[in-house]
Amino acid sequence: MELHFTNLLIVVLVGFLAPLSLGFVPRLLLPSVVLEIVLGIVIGPSVLGWVHVDDPVAVMSIVGLAFLLFLAGLEIEFDKLRGRVLKVTAIGFALSFGLALILSGVLSGVGVLDHPLFVAIVLSATSLGVVIPVLKDAGEVGSTFGQLVIAGATIADFATVILLSLFFSREASSTTTKLILLGGLFIVALLVGLALAEFEHSRRLREVLRRLQDTTAQIRVRGAFVLMIGLVALATNLGLEVILGAFMAGAILTLIDRDTMLTHPDFRRKLEAAGFGVFIPIFFVTSGVRYDLGALGDVSILVHVPIFLAALFLIRGLPALLYRPLVPRGRVVVSMLMQATSLPFIVASTAIGLQLKVVTPGNAAALIAAGLLSVVVFPAGALTLLKRDPATRARMDSRPPGEIAPAGEAM
């Protein structure tokens, strides 16, 4: 069968134009992922009908999804997951998930949704890749407040990926089987991580890697890609999801590649360039193309959007009240807003849910719409509250014009 690349051309063009357009209005704190999805909806079958998802678009989109979760795994800051911060944020996520189960059960009881466990998992995540840029802009990454928010988002990201893979995999039929497969994947990932850590001790190997890392070989980038695709292939062969294998690959790389000697400081920047520059925008634009806008035309489905948005705020926001003894009172509300920010995981998980038929097209559309609103409204509200603090406002005002960029796309 002859392949055609016209659909892919339009998708990558939209992926290029979205951040470029936002670049002309740097003070507009709108993540480009939002515009990419919206433009994908516009060019897709729901509006203009210019683009359909064919084989080239589908394959590139899947790789983009894998890269998104891979980079999310790379963002895990294991050094901050310790002590009181770990204890408070872990308890916070447990409360979040418990609240999510209760609210989803109530919504299921009144006929809003059919699979409460799936929706509970979807609404328990936080977009770490959106939260971190906001904290950086405010100069709060190193503060106790910033560490709590980052740790809470990290635990939520990791836990929801595991829970989704455990309860909603494509092939495994029982929870016991899924636990066995999940355990097998973890064991293989652990062995791979230990082997890579051992290889890092080889002086000869380190010298070869250093010599090739900035040549056309880009050997470290290639190795990272092998690790990601390898664990994705293993996960899918075990009947688990792409997102789990990719996320674990990123987490492994975070643990074994500390680069304390600064021998390859540009390595992660190169991975981000490959992910955010090529593959991830294709995934988000394609998600927009696949978006069922017509489902929101039904008023009974449209009202689900504010319901899911409110549920997202309650589920992820209320547990931030546990931070009150550790941070100033004004920071608690900011923590609530930032932890309730979620989109990439919602997009990825609803795509899986539609394949498994555990979420209706209408509710999938409503969940994504709620996620879009959360990314637009909550970070902007958090920044507004942070600017009321004189010290934070002074730090932000001291930055050169244009340095505060729209929030990133990663999970």
> Which amino acid would we find at residue 386?
L
Contact 120, 113 (CB under 8 A): no
- Name residues whose C-beta falls within 8 Å of residue 73's C-beta, 6 or more positions apart in sequence: 246, 247, 248, 249, 250, 251, 252, 253, 254
What pLDDT shows up at residue 279? 93
pLDDT one digit per residue (tens) for the chain, 411 residues = 678 899 999 999 999 999 999 899 887 777 788 899 999 999 999 899 999 999 999 999 999 989 988 988 887 777 777 788 889 999 999 999 999 999 999 999 998 888 999 999 999 998 877 787 677 767 776 778 888 888 888 889 889 988 988 888 766 567 777 788 888 888 988 898 888 888 877 888 888 988 999 999 999 999 999 999 999 999 888 877 788 899 899 989 988 887 655 678 889 899 999 999 999 999 999 999 998 888 888 888 899 999 999 999 999 999 999 998 888 878 889 999 999 999 888 988 998 898 888 999 999 999 999 999 998 888 888 888 887 765 555 555 555 443 444 444 445
Tokens describing residue 86: 């770990």
SS3 state at 339: helix
User: Pick from 154, 162, 163, 172: which is nearest to 81 by CA?
Assistant: 154
Report d(CA 52, CA 18) in Å as an integer: 19
pLDDT in tens, 230-244: 999 998 888 777 888
What pLDDT shows up at residue 171? 62
pTM of the model: 0.82
Question: CA 41: distance to chain centroid?
Answer: 20
